Structure 1
Amino acid sequence: MSGGAGPLRPEARVVLLLHGGLDNLSGKTGLALLRYRPGPIVAVVDPRHAGASLEAVTGIERAVPVLGSVAEALPLGPEVAVIGLAPSGGQLPADVRADVAAALRAGLSVASGLHSRLGADPELAALRRDPAWIWDLRQEPPALAVAAARAAALPCRRLLAVGSDMAVGKMSACLELLAEAGRRGLPARFVGTGQAGILISGAGVPLDAVRVDYAAGAVEAAVLEAGRDLGPAGQLLVEGQGSLAHPGSTATLPLLRGSQPTDLLLVHRAGQRHIKGLPALPLPPLPELIAAVEALAALGRPDGLRPRVRAIALNTAALEPDQALRESRKLGDATGLVCADPVRQGAGQLLDALAPGEGGACPG
């Protein structure tokens, strides 16, 4: 079973495989599901933290037991085992493989966003029992086409999250905006472009699995599908990937081309001065980065619009609450933009800044 729209139903009972990832970035996919998946998660499997309180380890307020194995989770009635890890290289770790095999033997389905294709693994495929499935979502979608700026014809607004670095919270910002729009009764949809976003929403495009010539076209197809019946009041929230400032990232340009955004949201980690893990590569001043993103977003468009960065979603997870508020105000004053942490301070200010008539896209 390939990527794209997948078989993971919103109401499916999930056991989340997070071996060794409950307290660090290797588990960011699973942590995102714990924070944002509305459907049931019956257990987390992480032998390192078995028996611990999920909230104590992660800060996520969700009543889910942390267990040592899939076998311990079976009495809770899971239907799908979801791999929540994003290890370096995207390969299946040996300890996770053992629990995937246990899940398949027990008749569970398995969803994976790893580069390792579980459905093509003869040993694991032989363990699958009908009607269970294996969903390897990180696969190039079929019938790809080269992008042709088709998304510009959609009547809805299209917000693309762009980051000053990788893993700064672009997906979280979009999902917080989606939730705030829902609370206000506003029409909004989310387009997932990475494994966590696709697992949470059930559809999207795994951008890092698509050949570069078709990457913008794959984004375009996902945006057209998600926005086809959204009217002018609708907001399409496109999950960003990578960063223009990161030397190893190529994702921002196809997202700009494919989504033809009307608006941009900059996502930044408070206090970060250089690319994470690469201290010799300083981040540009945010006004310079904003100008660069806006200039690129204005190219390759049939509508003559120059999308603007409308607000800054600030990741303040490493700060105390009073520090976070001061940093948000400081950055807002420096850029003249609304700046807030959508997780800690709420997404209301950011959504207000995206309202029609507040600036944003204008003729070039």
Structure 2
Amino acid sequence: MLDPTQPIALFAEATMGSLNAKMAEGILRYGRNPVVAVIDSTQAGKRVRDLCTLDSDIPIIATLAEAQALGAQVLVLGTAPSGGRLPQSWVAVLEQAIAGGMSLVNGMHDRLQPMFADRLRPGQWVWDLRVPQGDAPPIGMARAAALDNTRVLMVGTDMAIGKMTAGLELTRSLQEMGHDAAFLATGQTGIAITGRGIPLDAIRVDHAGGAVERMVLEAANHKFVVVEGQGSLLHPGSTATLPLMRGSACTHMVLCHRAGMETLDELDSVRIPPLRDVIALNEAVARAAGALTAAKVVAIALNTARLSQHEAEAAIRQVEDTTGLPTADPVRQGAQTLAKAVTSAI
């Protein structure tokens, strides 16, 4: 886990402001550590606020040496290339960081600990976020269905749609309302932010549901549990939603969607059905024809980052009219609407 006092630099080469830099943006928005800079040589000289919706004066710089001069002690790989593999062009930067005494936080599938283990000095470390910790989880057995708490699963119409962000905002709103709520991370960004969780996409498919189940059982003392979503039932390359549903035995769901999306981001041939049909699909899969918990979608988190304020308000009204469900952009408006929907549906 990151010591929250350590200054960090986010490496987002050629991606800052794009969907691939969602880890960098997530840490900038919710992380506890001071961020000295974002490294992206293609955007050097700008500020974070110039490239995304965060009102942040953190500089975009060109080189690791500049970050070290600003006091960075940890380099966080804040971008995810296609397939989550480590680009060969990054190796020289990582070697420079290790030689300079920096620690590394790695969200890629390729492990860095074995690469640098023999070069680490006392107090220096490498955190490979996508390495499952502890013993292999048991096979899922629907044990979470016996819990008496409220388990909210964030589901989406696509990958990289804002499920983690909406989940963190929902958890914060529930806590501000006085409820005992916990956020359970299931991906590398959520783990980096909270310091705990499971890297679901690195767990063998036979054990994925059991890993989610074990995590939910360990959080059984919380009245509200918000489970970070992954992937989408609509995406042909995603298998993550099913073990999340089965392992959490969710009682509620919040659907996450980007305003105006008609097809998947990287698959123009896959059309996003009407949201009412997407809601029905997720509810049908969750209840498994009555064999498992009958979770309902109780609200919609609408990502309106690409819209003006007026356009966002119109899009939210349209989604509410077509689905009949409370809708809000949790970043632009806060997640109180979502939290009220969850608590009123108990």
Give the partner amino acid of 1:208.
D
The residue aligned with 2:122 is 130
Residue 324 of structure 2 is aligned to residue 336 of structure 1: yes
Residue 208 of structure 2 is aligned to residue 215 of structure 1: yes
The residue aligned with 1:317 is 305
Give the partner amino acid of 1:38.
R
The residue aligned with 1:251 is 240
Residue 148 of structure 2 is aligned to residue 152 of structure 1: no
After superposition, residues 272-291 of structure 1 pair within 5 angstroms as 272-291=261-280
Distance 1:102 1:154 in 2: 49
Paired residues of 1:260 and 1:301 also in contact (CA < 8 A): no
Paired residues of 1:160 and 1:261 also in contact (CA < 8 A): yes
1:80–1:113 distance in 2 versus 1, CA, 3 Å: same
Paired residues of 1:149 and 1:300 also in contact (CA < 8 A): no
Distance 1:60 1:52 in 2: 13
Q: Choose 152-161 or 264-273, whichever is displaced more.
A: 152-161
Deviations 1:115-152 (A, max 9, x none): 1111122xx33332122111111123433210111222
Q: Any idea what SS the aligned residue of 2:139 has?
A: coil
**Residue 217 of structure 1: CA displacement?**
0.7
Identity of aligned residues (%): 44
Distance 1:72 1:280 in 2: 43
Deviations 1:51-92 (A, max 9, x none): 212211223122322222222122333232111010012122
The residue aligned with 2:23 is 29
The total of aligned residue pairs comes to 345
Among candidates 199, 205, 217, match of residue 206 of structure 1: 199
Distance 2:52 2:43 in 1: 11
After superposition, residues 63-102 of structure 1 pair within 5 angstroms as 63-102=57-96
Among candidates 171, 175, 196, match of residue 178 of structure 1: 171
Residue 30 of structure 2 is aligned to residue 41 of structure 1: no
1:241–1:346 distance in 2 versus 1, CA, 3 Å: same
Paired residues of 1:266 and 1:309 also in contact (CA < 8 A): yes
Among candidates 317, 340, 350, match of residue 338 of structure 2: 350
Paired residues of 2:136 and 2:207 also in contact (CA < 8 A): no
Distance 1:184 1:63 in 2: 31
Q: TM-score, normalised by structure 2?
A: 0.94
Paired residues of 1:29 and 1:84 also in contact (CA < 8 A): yes
Distance 2:172 2:226 in 1: 11
Give the partner amino acid of 2:314.
R
Q: Any idea what SS the aligned residue of 1:295 has?
A: helix
Question: Could you list the runs of 5+ residues in structure 2 that have no partner in the other structure?
Answer: none
1:155–1:14 distance in 2 versus 1, CA, 3 Å: farther
Give the partner amino acid of 1:261.
C
**Residue 301 of structure 1: CA displacement?**
8.1
Question: Could you list the runs of 5+ residues in structure 1 that have no partner in the other structure?
Answer: 1-6
The residue aligned with 2:252 is 263
1:118–1:301 distance in 2 versus 1, CA, 3 Å: farther
Deviations 1:248-277 (A, max 9, x none): 111110000011111100111111112223
Q: Any idea what SS the aligned residue of 2:268 has?
A: strand
Paired residues of 1:9 and 1:202 also in contact (CA < 8 A): no
Distance 2:200 2:132 in 1: 8
Q: Any idea what SS the aligned residue of 1:115 has?
A: coil
Q: 4+ residue runs of structure 1 moved beyond 4 angstroms?
A: none
Residue 132 of structure 2 is aligned to residue 143 of structure 1: no
Among candidates 8, 11, 14, match of residue 2 of structure 2: 8
Distance 2:238 2:257 in 1: 16
Paired residues of 2:211 and 2:247 also in contact (CA < 8 A): yes
